[in-house]
Amino acid sequence: MTSVNVTTQKNTVTVSTSGQLTTVTATTAGPQGPPGQAGSSFSLEQSARVDKSIVYFDAASSRFRADASITQATLTDGGNF
């Protein structure tokens, strides 16, 4: 069995086997964050939500909200989408 030691993280690894040169390209996904933390910085206040509430960002509270103040019907006169 062949042993591989990685000392520097790179996207291209050169492997030499019996005088032949082989190039292997490794692709990794971008940063995912710690396990179980996906979306942890997203806070949604929805206790006052109503039918057809639309999520909006409230700068005063630094939170996303879904309530009766902004709904499909309040965006435009008629609110048909």
Question: Is 0.75 surpassed by the pTM of this model?
Answer: no
pLDDT of residue 75: 79
The type of residue at 42 is F
pLDDT of residue 24: 65
**Does some domain include residue 30?**
no
**Does some domain include residue 66?**
yes
Q: Which long-range contacts (CB under 8 A, 24 or more apart) does 29-37 make?
A: none
Which residue range is the domain that position 71 belongs to? Answer: 44-75
Q: 56 vs 15, which has greater pLDDT?
A: 56
- Residues 23-70: tens digit of each pLDDT: 666 666 666 666 655 555 778 888 999 998 999 989 998 889 999 988
Region of residue 72 (phi > 0: left; psi between -120 and 50: alpha; otherwise: beta): alpha
DSSP 34: S
Phi, psi of 53 (to 5 degrees): -65, 145
The domain tally of the chain equals 1
